[in-house]
Structures are given as C-alpha cells and as structure tokens.
C-alpha cells in the first residue's frame, strides 16, 4: 500500500447521520451545557458498562482536575506536583481549591 498520498483530514468530525437530530433535541430541551438528557445517558453508559458507582461528566479537564482535588481533600498547604510542560489551568485547578 502506498502511504505517501493518503490525505488525513484535520479536525473533521466523524458523522454517522443522526448528529443534527441529536443537536436539535438537546437545544430544544434547553440544556446544552451539561446536566441534560445526553449527559445522563453518557453517565449511565459508563456506570453500567464499566460498573462505576457514579460517573460525572465535566465540561473540561480543568473542571475534572478541580473536582478531583476537592474529592481528594486537597487544600492550602498541600503539595501537588504537576508536569512542567502543561497548560497553566492544570495547576490552577488545584490552586483554586479551598478547605
């Protein structure tokens, strides 16, 4: 197989055909930024598929890290080591947590 002429599109979403319908339903429901029907469907999928007691979706990795810090009880004076080459929001997620 000649791999020199393969065109891999950048940032092109994979569509199966029902996406616009699902977007319409989400917008029509009035909940498009979390805690809507599709959020609950995804959470239930992970809970049932992988046996999680509870799955929580977040809007970003920063929100997920902040939630982890809260659940782990991290607070002022605790040491958290983050990668030196990362977005500032990685460290910010732990800096905003207060006990």
Tens-place pLDDT, residues 21-56:
998 999 999 888 778 888 999 999 999 999 999 998
Buried b (16+ CB within 10 A) or exposed e, 42-76: ebeeeeeeeeeeeeeeeeeebeebbeebbeeebee
Q: How far apart are CA 56 and CA 35, in angstroms?
A: 10
Same domain (yes/no): 40, 27: yes
> Residue 9 domain-assigned?
no
Same domain (yes/no): 25, 47: yes
Same domain (yes/no): 67, 40: no
Same domain (yes/no): 65, 92: yes
Map 61-91 to HEC letters: HHHHHHHHHHHHCCCCCCCCCCCCCCCHHHH
Q: Count up the domains in the chain and report the number.
A: 2
> Residue 1 domain-assigned?
no
Between 1 and 58, name the one with better pLDDT: 58
């Amino acid at each position: 197989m000649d791999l020199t002429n393969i065109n891999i599109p950048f940032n092109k979403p994979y569509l199966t055909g029902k996406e616009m319908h699902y977007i319409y339903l989400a917008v029509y429901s009035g909940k498009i930024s979390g805690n809507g029907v599709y959020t609950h469907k995804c959470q239930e999928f992970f809970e049932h598929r992988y046996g999680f007691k509870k799955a929580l979706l977040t809007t970003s990795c920063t929100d997920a890290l902040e939630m982890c810090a809260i659940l782990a009880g991290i607070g002022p004076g605790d040491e958290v080591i983050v990668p030196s080459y990362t977005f500032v929001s990685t460290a910010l997620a732990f800096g905003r947590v207060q006990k």
